[in-house]
Amino acid sequence: MAIACALSACAQKPRAEKLAGIEIGLPDWPEQSRHDDAGNGDLAVADGRGSRVALAWDVDPRPRLTPVAARAAAGLGPAEETPARIAGHDALLLRHGGGATLVWRCDVTRRLFRLGVAGPRAPEIANLAAHTRCHAEPIFANGDVPAAATSALGPTWTFANRGRGSISWTRGDEVLTFFAGQTVPPPRDAQAAEEQAAGWIGAAGLSHPAPEAAEAADGPQAHSALRVRGTAQLDGHPVRWTLLFWNCVPRQRTFTAVVFSAGAPDESALLAARCHA
């Protein structure tokens, strides 16, 4: 990517932009969108003739970026994949019909980034990457973390903690965690949900996740959801977990929640999430 950037013949000098603790050089084109929010935001410019550059980000508590998560974040199926580096982070470059998307996770701010280009006049994505700093400033945003309806959760559950991009409740040996919503698309089907589950199980503090089954289910606040069940380990001890993915149409966010315990986890607790008013 460094060689490609050096050989790139950019017709325009990049226009420096800074928002939400991010620095980037973009073509001097009209803005299509700008959401200057540290937790969930985006910036897009277009030339009006079919070329576009867009950067989007979300809080992401998952411990690392996997190829499965990168493709899902870009809203892509199979694509030409190339390992890359940006701002000191490992990234995945996905080339697809008419464009390219660079996906990476910033370990400093715990955010998931997608930088995409499309169209005949779009600059080489390596040149954009060379002008991008995703942690120009310290960021402590928590993202759109759902609240828990105490009437639905019941009095036996106790608030445990609020982490970066998550909130947790406990009851005995059970742990319930709601994660911040993201603007990435939800899993397309049960198989995709099963493939994406491992990263979120890691974010819940578990290791060695082993999904066993995935299916359509009812989600919180009457949203349609995909449910995945499986096993994992917590400090070397076996546990069982249930995870939900759902798309909140009013918020335009994909939400994830997981509950686990040594025995059968209380799946009804997942429905206590309130992702919109």
In this structure, what DSSP letter does residue 163 have? E
Fold identical between 2-130 and 147-274? yes
2-130: CATH topology is Protein Transport Mog1p; Chain A (3.40.1000)
Domain boundaries, the chain: 2-130, 147-274
Bridge-based pairing state of the strands 40-46 and 52-59: antiparallel
Q: How confident is the model at residue 9 (pLDDT cuts 50, 70, 90)?
A: very low
pLDDT in tens, 147-174: 999 999 999 999 999 999 999 999 999 9
From the CA atom positions of the chain, what is the Rg in Å? 20
Give the chain's mean pLDDT: 93
CA atoms of 137 and 49, how far apart (whole Å): 34
- What is the average per-residue pLDDT within 260-267? 97
Q: Is the pLDDT of residue 1 over 70?
A: no
CA atoms of 83 and 77, how far apart (whole Å): 17
Q: How far is CA 243 from CA 4, 112, 144, 157, 205, in A?
A: 41, 20, 18, 18, 13
Return the percentage of the chain with pLDDT > 70, whole number.
96
CA atoms of 240 and 206, how far apart (whole Å): 10
CA 16, 22, 27, 30 dihedral sign is negative
CATH number of this structure's domain 147-274, picked from the four choices 3.40.50.10190, 3.40.1000.10, 1.20.1050.10, 3.30.70.20? 3.40.1000.10
What burial class does residue 92 get, using C-beta atoms within 10 Å of its C-beta: 0-12 exposed, 13-18 middle, 19+ buried? buried
pLDDT for the residue numbered 140: 84
- What is the average per-residue pLDDT within 81-107? 93
Residues 37 and 21 sit within 8 Å (Cβ to Cβ): no
CA nearest neighbour of 227 among 238, 235, 218, 236: 218
Encoded tokens for 242: 């249930």
Encoded tokens for 73: 């974040």
